[in-house]
Structures are given as structure tokens and as C-alpha cells.
Structure 1
Amino acid sequence: MQEIWNVLSLGGPTAIPLMIASIFSLAVIIEKTIFFAKNKQDNKNLIRKVEMMIDEGDTMSAYNQLKGKKGPNVKLLSTALSNLDEDSERIREALQVTGQNEIRKMEKHLTILDVIAMIAPLLGLLGTVLGIISSFNILGGAAGIGDPTQISAGIASALISTAIGLIIAIPTAIFYSYFSKIVDRRAHQLNQSIVEIMDVVDGNDRGEKYEENVKNIS
């Protein structure tokens, strides 16, 4: 702990903001890693089974299959089942809203990583500039060559600040890119799921079958 504090003290005034940024970055990385691990892609066999039940008008069995299940596709199917008495356009709108909400959950806090990846090198550069200015001030105010220890301290401050900024920015940018690709891939899969569900709904005779199964559920 003492060694870390020593490095921070040598890093100059921008070292503390950089450390705070690194804490936020690490917290977001851990949170998103856990989130994506818990919200993996849904079981395709389950999805196909529920879609077949919807196609056959067996709404009650479809509801039972989804009970206790989690995931974006399960949310889409639940939305479709809840709106089977509506027209196709209304069901499509409801599915799109649900899909957008799921995407927002996946994107949550990613902006923090993007901002930190951008500002960390700038803070490091600011620390470098301040350290160099300090060294030149020592040289300008000293008789002769000045105190080498003070000059080297200013240079060390400049170099350490730059290093800290890059150490924070590089992994943050990597994780931001990685999580963004996961979001893009899953958003594409959600759009495909909406199309598949609408194909089932549009091809399903929902009239009497739906009313009969809703009575059974009630």
C-alpha cells in the first residue's frame, strides 16, 4: 500500500484523478462481466418449443414453459403471449419496445468505459506537461545547473503520470470494445428473434384458440 502511495505522490496532481477513474473502470468491467455471464443467450430448444406451442394455439403450455426462465428472448416471447389478442402491428411494436429495453440494459454503464478510455491518456498527458513545467521552473530559478534531485523528481512525475494514464486507458478501451461487440451481436439476435416470433404470430390462427386458452389460464 505504501508503495502505491509513493507512486501516486510521484505521479503529480493528476495521479489521484487517474486512480479514481481506474476504480470506476474496474467496477464497470466487473459489473458487465457478471451481467453478460448471467444473461447468456437463451436455450434455442426452449424458444423453438414455445414458438411451436404458440403456432398450435397452446398458449397455456407456452406460459408454463416460460415460468422461471430469464433472458432477452424469454422476455420477447412473454411479451408476444401477453399481446396475442392484439393485431400484428401492436404485437410488433410491443416486441420492439421490449427489445429496446433489453438493449439498454446491456448498454448500461458502457459510456463510463468509453469516457475513461478517452480521458485517461489526456490526464496522463496533463500530468506530463505539469511535471515538465515544474522541471523548467527549477532550472530557470536556480543558479547554475540547479538541484538534480528536484529536476529528476519533476521528470519522474511526468513519466509516471503518462504511464498511469496509458495503463488505465488501454485495458479500458479493450473491454469497452469487447462489451460493445457483445451488445451488437445480441441486438442482432434480438432483431432476428422478433422476426421469427412475428412469423409465428402472423401464421397463427389466434382467434378462438387464444380466447379458449386465456380462460384456462385465468
Structure 2
Amino acid sequence: MLITLLIEKGGFLMYPLFFCSLLLITIFFERLWFYISNRSDAEKYRQAKQLVENGRFGDAKNVLNGSKGALERVFLEVLNNLRCSRHDLEHIVSNKGVQELQRFNKNLHIMELIGRIAPMLGLSGTVVGMVAAFQAVASSTGGAVNPALLASGIWESLLTTVAGLFVGIPALIFYHFFEKQFVIKSIDLKIKGEEIVRLFGECNDRI
């Protein structure tokens, strides 16, 4: 099997690199599924906002119940705490917003860490392999350099560098992709959160 052969030829540092690759794939697909399945529903938000403007708070709750989007969940949290001052509303929106964003930021730091350490692991494996290759040449009979032996040792040691880059580069690409989505989500939640606070700013008068 190709993977087994690469691990055998690349040395012991191929094991943590292989583990990093599996972890990266797992996190990538988990985060991708999470972002897709927890997208905010702009139509639900519009409907709930319109219902609140008309004083139909119960109907607005029914629209938002069961929603997975961060914005709708923040909106629903405010609806569950209607009798409050503007200061309390801001506190509720801020706290709930932070909770929701933490869900979207989950495990991204692990992805970034893999992107940073995988190339270093690969380079370390290459250094160790090069040392072993030259040591083998130095200890060969007669002291004569065997080009085939040296070339074999070098290409095998370079496998870990290739593996490290193969894992690290996609990890950083994936990390920056999700980080960009997280920033967009954060900005949208902040803007809409302020909008929700204004909408409920005089909620005591509406109830």
C-alpha cells in the first residue's frame, strides 16, 4: 500500500504527519458541514422582524423556533427576555452573540496549528534522514562514496518534507478560508445585533 510504503521510507516522523492529515480532513469536513447546516436564514429574520414591528411577539418566536443560524438564535434569545431595559438588551445580545461565534470558531486553531507544525515536522524528518544517509556513507566499507546509496538516503529523507508541505499548505488554506467566513459572520452578527437592540429598544411599551 502506498501510504504504508511512504511511512516506511520516510521514517518515524511520518506517523505524526499521517495523524495530522487525518485530523485535518476530519476537522475540515466537520467545519464545512457545520457552516453549511448553520447558515442564517435571511427570510426568517425578515419575517420575525416584521412580526415584532407589528407587536406579534409570539408569532415571531414560532418563526424562529428550531433555527440553527446564529442570528436567529440571538433574535430568539431577546424574544425570550422581552421585559428588559436597553442596557440589558445589549448585554443579552452581546453574550448570546459571543456564545454563537464560539461555535463557529471551534477547532479552527487546531487547523492553523497543523498548518504551522506539519512543515516543521517534515523538515525535521529530512534532517534526521540526511544525517542517517551520510552516516551510512561514512561507515561504508573502504570509505568510498556510493552515489546510489547516498541518492537513496537523500530521496527517502526528503519524503518527510514533501509530506509536511502536502499537509501544511492545505491546512493553512482551509484555516484562512474558515477564518474569513468567521470574520464575515462576526461582522454580520454585530450589525444585525445592533439592529435587534434598536428594534426592541422600547419593548416595554410594545408589550
Aligned to 1:107: 105
1:50-129 aligned within 5 A: 50-129=48-127
Aligned to 2:11: 12
Is it true that 1:27 corresponds to 2:21 in the alignment? no
Which sections of structure 1, spanning at least 5 residues, go unmatched? 211-218
1:138-157 aligned within 5 A: 138-142=136-140, 143-157=142-156
CA distance in 2, matches of 1:88, 1:52: 20
CA distance in 2, matches of 1:205, 1:131: 69
Equivalent residues of 1:127, 1:157 under 8 A apart? no
TM-score by length of 1: 0.89
Show structure 1 runs of 4+ deviating over 3 A: 146-150
TM-score by length of 2: 0.93
CA distance in 2, matches of 1:25, 1:108: 13
Equivalent residues of 2:39, 2:68 under 8 A apart? no
Aligned to 2:186: 187
Equivalent residues of 2:7, 2:14 under 8 A apart? yes
CA distance in 2, matches of 1:173, 1:69: 31
Q: CA deviation at 1:206?
A: 2.5
Deviations along 1:95-121, one digit per CA (max 9) or x if unpaired, are 111110111100101111100000000
Q: CA deviation at 1:148?
A: 4.6
Equivalent residues of 2:84, 2:203 under 8 A apart? no
CA distance in 2, matches of 1:187, 1:205: 25
Identical amino acids, percent of aligned pairs? 27
Aligned to 2:129: 131
Equivalent residues of 1:121, 1:166 under 8 A apart? yes
CA distance in 2, matches of 1:147, 1:13: 25
What value does the CA root-mean-square deviation take over the aligned residues?
A: 1.5
CA distance in 2, matches of 1:92, 1:205: 13
Which sections of structure 2, spanning at least 5 residues, go unmatched? none
